[in-house]
Amino acid sequence: MQFFYHPDLSHPVFELLPDEAKHCVKALRKRVGDQIFVTDGEGRLATTQIMDASPNHCAVQVLSVEESYALRPHQFHLAIAPTKNSDRIEWLMEKSIEIGIEHISFLSCEHSERVKLDLDRLKRIAVSAIKQSNTTLIPSMQMIDYKDFIINNKQIKNRYIAWCDEHNQREFAQEELKNKDVILLIGPEGDFSPEEVNLAENNGYQAIKLGTRRLRTETAGLYGVCVYAGAQLM
pLDDT of 234: 79
Residues 62 and 82 in one domain: no
Q: How many domains does the chain have?
A: 2
Q: Mean pLDDT for the chain? A: 95
Question: Are the C-beta atoms of residues 183 and 208 closer than 8 Å to each other?
Answer: no
- Domain of 196 in residue numbering reads as 76-233
Contact present, 77 and 103 (Cβ < 8 Å): yes
Burial group, residue 232, by CB count within 10 angstroms (0-12, 13-18, 19+): middle
pLDDT tens readout for residues 93-110:
999 999 999 999 999 999
Helix ranges restricted to H, the chain: 18-22, 86-99, 119-133, 146-152, 194-202, 217-233
pLDDT one-digit tens code per residue, 60-100: 999 999 999 989 999 999 999 999 999 999 999 999 999 99
Confidence of residue 207 (pLDDT cuts 50, 70, 90): very high
Query: What local confidence, expressed as pLDDT, does residue 169 receive?
Result: 79
Tell me, what CATH number does 39's domain have?
2.40.240.20
Q: Are residues 85 and 187 in the same domain?
A: yes
Reported residue count of the chain is: 234
Task: For residues 40 and 130, state if they share a domain.
Answer: no
Per-residue confidence at 179, pLDDT binned at 50, 70, 90? very high
Q: How confident is the model at residue 192 (pLDDT cuts 50, 70, 90)?
A: very high
> What pLDDT, on a 0 to 100 scale, did the predictor assign at position 163?
87
Using CA atoms, how far apart are residues 202 and 221, in angstroms rounded to an integer?
Answer: 23
Domain boundary among 16, 40, 66: 66
Q: Do both 59 and 110 map to the same domain?
A: no
How far is Cα 34 from Cα 15, in angstroms, rounded to an integer?
15
- Give a yes or no: residue 112 inside a domain: yes
pLDDT tens column, 134-177: 999 999 999 999 999 999 999 999 999 998 777 777 999 999 99
| Residue 120 CB partners (closer than 8 Å, separation 6+) | none
